[in-house]
Structure 1
Amino acid sequence: MMVPAPRLVLLVLATASALAAGSMAAAGPPPDDRPRAQPRAAAASVDWLAPASSTLVAESTHDWNNYAPDQSKVITYGDYQYALFYADDLRLTLSRRNLQTDDVQLVTFPEKLSRPDDTHNNSVLGISAADGRLHLAYDHHGQPLHYRSSVAGLLTTPPATITTAHFNAQGPLVDGGPLEQAVTYPRFVNDPHGNLMLIYRHGSSGNGTTYIHRYDAAASTWSRDGALFSPNGVYPDWENSADRNAYLHGVLFDDAGRMHVSWIWRETPAWPSNHGVHYAYSDDNGVTWFDNDGQQVADTAAGDPIALADDTVVVDIPVWSFLMNQGVMTLDAANEPHIITYVSTVVPATDATKDLHYVHFWRDGSGQWQQDYIDDTGVDLPKIATLTHGEPIRRGDAFVDEQNVLHFYAIVSGALYEATADGASGWSSWTVRRLTEGSAGLLDQGPKFDRVRWQRDGVISMMVSRVQADGELDFYAEEFTLQPSAAPAAPVLSLQPARGQGIELVIDGAHGAEAFRIARRAAGEPGFTVLDADYSRGTMRRGYVDATAVPGTEYTYRVQAVNGTGHSGPVEVSGTIGGGWSDYTIDVDVRIETWSAGVVFRASDLPSVFDNGDFYWWAIQPDRDGGQLLRLIFSGGTIRRLDPIPLPAGVTVGSTHHLRISAIGDQITTWIDGAQIDQLTDGTHASGTVGVRHGSTDGDLARYDNLVITGAGGAVLHEERFSDPTRVPCGSLYLGALRVSPGSRCTLPEHTVQ
């Protein structure tokens, strides 16, 4: 294998300040002397995405129909747009939307999603225009290859109605052999001539090989190249790890026919083992590959893949940076690559839920790589339980418009944001705006846009799951177009209790807002006092916490949305912080997946030292001694274990049951499915909040849904149907419920806002 000489200069992300300063990694001369496109002049003003249309594609669909590696989940050919998703019964479904009439047809296949609790499963579409076939790859995360194609001419001579009869049976790609048994993250890619490729990893996270496959439209057959990425090599910085896998940020062809690929290496299945930003290019459709300096590093035809020893790193980011894999890559007007992902500002990082911020890596016209943060690193993004995981931010997608402006969009805490930077500014001056008018539903993992529709029609089209009033997830085609900047829409305000102390002002709506002017007036005061004249500028936050608000005082908040063009009119909302919870009833549906589901009540709001606090813990354990309700009382680090209560015979692992716990004065009563099973007199704790607590030893895993906490007087203190986002700060949303894993424990804020 050819290994170039070491670089003279390499930027090491040892501190946040180095990354924020936009330091450079030496990259040598441009890879070759081909003519390069010249960057266009700066736009007089930046155009922004604006909602254009929203089309219902399907009702009641599966929770997880968007994932970051879905590079081509939605794609356009001719007058039709095609998308792939799973229905609520987990069956694979293809939609065809007529772009002229907006009519939608659905094709439901017999295949079902094999692991519905796998958040990493992805499904993608490909097009071979030469024979008019649509190609489907689906249900992949370490599973055997699932592939089918349409009959010839489906795309080029589309029938009035499509059915399963227009598709061939599921079958192998090449040979169905050993290299099609553990497939992950397939993606279809077309070269500039329309030739179709399929790229996927075979193996596992931390130990996988990536292959390129090529489709022969004349013969309707696939062939497999040699490996593109090899797992081989020894990495000293992760205990001399001897294998790894490449996680792709993107595979793109530029208008000159060059194939660009960027990636990170991962040493084990653990996220902290990600390291390095890597880049290579090919001028012969992915056969021979060159590093950023133009040195050959691989020849797939000769059995020489890209490996750890090759000098492909362009930004040296160490392990324990929580560098996110599978970000996004796009190309600017000069065909220079841009990569956007996120990373911790603290290295080494020990907490994956803190200090994460979006980072932009790009190559300038001299071949050097630059880097800068997109959002304000001085403002932590909120950790909130969302569709898949607990980290606060999500991957997104990016594109460059005709004015050479880079656009990046992503979902953060239930709202969609857009950030832009202009090539004329050196790509380092970012502006962040709120994109959605309201909650974006479960856009949790950052849906990819239809690249064909963007390139052909100038429309950003993406598939979106939205939570409905009944808790179901409907699947929509959402479309946006670039429009001149306008004053932002008015915000939509609500109040909720802040964790710890104070009021949280939740700001929805406000499409186009770059910041918010927030003022407050307490009851009896003559006027408003400005709390923050420029809240959320340069970052992505929906909630403002007023920690100075005191219980019993009514406050009125006045908010204006502002941007560089103008501002909205003022909007007001009023509320009073109520006292702590004392007497209340908890109603919740519980489904135990493994061993136990545990509810805490009258709990001290101290999640960091949870087992040292004061609280009651009732745990349903169907497999303990014939089924028991375990009752424990925690007091300042001591535990009092009460006699267990037998569970009704029908309470089993895998079934859903309604739990009610009433704590009124010193009387604590418990019901399951409407039947009282216990009444206890105990006054150890008189007040406190509600939460969940799962032990780690026995692998406690359970789902919670339809949580309602009602005060003794009948007022609803808290209600959760577990749409995105949820106020419960642990667990993840799964199949319309909160799924809490072993070792998780957290509580709700211990007051109300009225």
Structure 2
Amino acid sequence: MGRFLRERLCVVWCVCAGVSCCVLSVSEVRGQQELRALREAVVREAGVLGPGWARTKVNMAIFRHSAVDSVGDRQVAGWYDGAGRVCLGERRLGEDRWRVQVTELRGRVTDAHNVISLAFDGAGELHVSWDHHGHPLRYVRVSAGGGLEPGERQVMVGRDEERVTYPEFYRLPDGGLLFFYREGAAGAGNLVLNRYRPSVSGGAGVWERVQSNLIDGEGERNAYWQACVDGGGVIHLSWVWRETPDVVTNHDLCYARSADGGVTWTNSAGVRLLVPMTAAGSEYACRIAQGSELANQTSMSVDGSGRPVIATFWRGAEAGAVPQYRLVYLAESGWRVVQVGERTLNFERRGGGTKRPPISRPLLLLDSAAGSRRAVVLFRDQEWGGGVVAAVTGDYAGGDWEYWGLTGGVGQADPLVDFGVWRERGEVHLLSQLTGQGDGEREESVEPTAVRLLEWRVRWPDSQ
């Protein structure tokens, strides 16, 4: 049986306005402490999958879409072991025994961009892409027959596959897949979209190109995006712009949607947008200045009324402001912003490469029941003890938030979940690992740590 973890986490914070937390250690934060109480969460450990590379956060970066996925009662997770080999672990939902395949595939794990992303199609075939930071496409399939041994490396469509970064899969209601990635470099790349169409005769499906240049940086900037697909198959896409490889040039939050698989795109009012979408031709959900510590590559979802909600963080323009977690959501009267919690610890990120701030990117989960505005925001913050915290509300637009501690300290890890299990069962299945991460692609001296799968059932404030 799975092991139940019950822990009350205390939170540390320090008054250190103006300090750059990209170089702030946990021990320095704990130099001055006050305690914040987190609600006690009962978390079920559903098995240790194996040891994982931990000198960078390559196993635990939020732009792994996905790190763990399920179809039916079959669940599969992917990670790099201490030697940089791609490992695939499989179990049946409800069981705790994982069958692990250490593959011959390898990744450059010293760079946290080179993540593994995977997804099941509707027929149960597993699709895996790994090891990209401006590299040629690496993509394999694992048959639905029950094994975990990958097939031969394949192309998808054979064009614009030489400088791939941020591969992300999204499953469509018909069992097909979308595959987003950036072609080009930071500050000057374009967003490419492929679609996998399942075979109607039971054979292998085929990939086709939908957009070769969906969002165009025009050689001057690039988009860092997050996406989701709602129950009706509508694709929701949001992004921030970055003018140069320096994270300080992140600015603004844009939005578009597509109801035909990504061929045509509109704004939130249904007005058709020209493709490729550019800085001048996009809808701006929120204007945010450069130098605001705006996060890139976070998460978004759709509520029970079909309205998009985007989770991110940035620092406001008011004097003494520090970066705050926020939700940007579409209301009847237009786009609105709500803050999640109240942070006090300031930080600054500068330069290119992977940063080492004291907080993670937020991951958003929304209840899809008709009319619901229930929300869960998962994050990691040194102010809250350095573990994964779940902020839960019955109404993201104006309700109170409750804060639940789900893990102990996880180093620099972002929260990662099985979105399929969330959709089908309303359960949080959290892939968890303690990882290091130096600033600007530097490693930290952390030996391989255990990769775990944790289960938690949300307790909504309005149902207790």
* Structure 2 residue aligned with 1:90: 84
- Which position in structure 1 is the counterpart of 2:184? 203
The correspondence of residues 230-379 of structure 1 with structure 2, limited to 5 A, is 230-233=215-218, 242-249=219-226, 251-298=227-274, 304-346=275-317, 355-366=322-333, 368-376=334-342, 379=344
1:406 match: 375
Q: Equivalents in 1 of 2:355, 2:217: separation in Å? A: 30
- The answer on whether the counterparts of 1:87 and 1:93 sit within 8 Å (CA) in structure 2 is yes
2 CA distance for matches of 1:203 and 1:86? 25
Could you tell me how far 1:169 is from its partner in structure 2? 0.9
1:441 aligned to which of 410, 415, 418: 410
Tell me which of 423, 431, 450 is aligned to 1:463: 431
| Aligned: 1:172 with 2:155 | yes
Q: Which runs of 5 or more residues in structure 2 are unaligned?
A: 1-38, 436-445
Which residue of 382, 407, 419 maps to 2:391? 419
Aligned equivalents of 2:417 and 2:148: distance in 1? 25
Corresponding residue SS for 1:118:
coil
- 1:122 maps to which residue? 115
Partner of 1:686: none
SS at structure 1 position matched to 2:356: coil
Write the letter of the residue equivalent to 1:328: S
Instruction: Determine helix, strand or coil for the equivalent of 1:212.
Output: strand
Residue aligned with 2:422, SS: helix
CA 1:483–1:231 in 2, change beyond 3 Å: closer, same or farther? closer
- Alignment check: 8 A CA contact 2:180 2:191 kept: yes
Q: Structure 2: how far apart are the matches of 1:357 and 1:434? A: 18
Q: Secondary structure at the match of 1:207?
A: coil
Aligned-residue offset at 1:108: 1.6
Number of residue pairs matched by the alignment:
400
Aligned-pair CA distance for 1:430? 4.1
Tell me: CA distance 1:48–1:189, structure 2 relative to 1, closer, same or farther (3 Å).
farther
Contact 1:62 1:90 in 2 (8 A): no
Q: Mean alpha-carbon deviation: is it higher for 414-423 or for 184-193?
A: 414-423
User: 1:62: Cα distance to partner?
Assistant: 4.1
- Shift in Å at residue 288 of structure 1? 0.5
Counterpart in the other structure of 1:380:
345
1:150 and 1:365 map into 2 onto residues whose CA distance is 44
Instruction: Name the CA shift for 1:259/1:471 in 2 (closer, same or farther; >3 Å).
Output: closer
Cα distance in 2 for partners of 1:363, 1:252 equals 15
Match of 2:30 in 1: none
d(CA) in 1 for partners of 2:51 and 2:233? 41
Q: 1:110 to 1:257 in 2, by over 3 A?
A: closer
> CA 1:485/1:432 → structure 2, altered by over 3 Å: closer, same or farther?
closer
- Describe the shift of the 1:361–1:273 C-alpha distance in structure 2 as closer, same or farther (beyond 3 A): same
In structure 1, stretches of 5+ residues that fail to align are: 1-46, 234-241, 299-303, 487-564, 566-754
Is 1:145 aligned to 2:116, yes or no? Answer: no
Q: Which residue of 1 aligns with 2:172?
A: 191
One-letter identity of the residue aligned with 1:458: G
Deviation at 1:204, TM superposition (A): 0.9
What SS does structure 1 have at the residue aligned with 2:248?
helix
| Residue 171 (structure 1) shift | 2.3
Whole-Å separation in 2 of the counterparts to 1:461 and 1:412:
20
Q: Return the offset for 1:462.
A: 1.7
Q: 1:122 to 1:230 in 2, by over 3 A?
A: same
TM value normalised by structure 1 = 0.50
Is 1:417–1:432's contact at 8 Å kept on the other side of the alignment?
no
Shift of 1:190: 1.6
Once the two structures are TM-superposed, the CA of residue 124 in structure 1 deviates from its matched residue by 0.8
Match of 2:212 among 219, 224, 227: 227
* Letter aligned with residue 418 of structure 1: A
Amino acid at match of 1:334: S
Pick the structure with greater CA Rg: 1
Q: Deviations over 1:396-430 (max 9, x none)?
A: 2111235531110101122222223333xx61344
2:19 is matched with none
**Contact kept? 1:137, 1:186, Cα under 8 Å:** yes
After superposition, the C-alpha distances for 1:518-560 in whole angstroms (9 at most, x for unaligned) are xxxxxxxxxxxxxxxxxxxxxxxxxxxxxxxxxxxxxxxxxxx
Counterparts in 2 of 1:101 and 1:181: CA distance versus 1, 3 Å: same
Give the structure 2 partner of residue 37 of structure 1.
none
Q: Give the 3-state SS of the residue equivalent to 1:454 in structure 2.
A: helix
Q: Which amino acid aligns with 1:184?
A: T
Q: Which residue of 1 aligns with 2:34?
A: none
Instruction: Please list, as runs of the form range in 1=range in 2, the aligned pairs for 1:519-558 lying within 5 A after superposition.
Output: none
1:55 maps to a residue whose letter is G
Superimposed CA distance per residue, residues 87-113 of structure 1 (whole angstroms, 9 cap, x where no aligned partner) = 011111111122243211111221221
Q: Secondary structure of 2:135's match?
A: coil
Q: 1:232 to 1:312 in 2, by over 3 A?
A: same
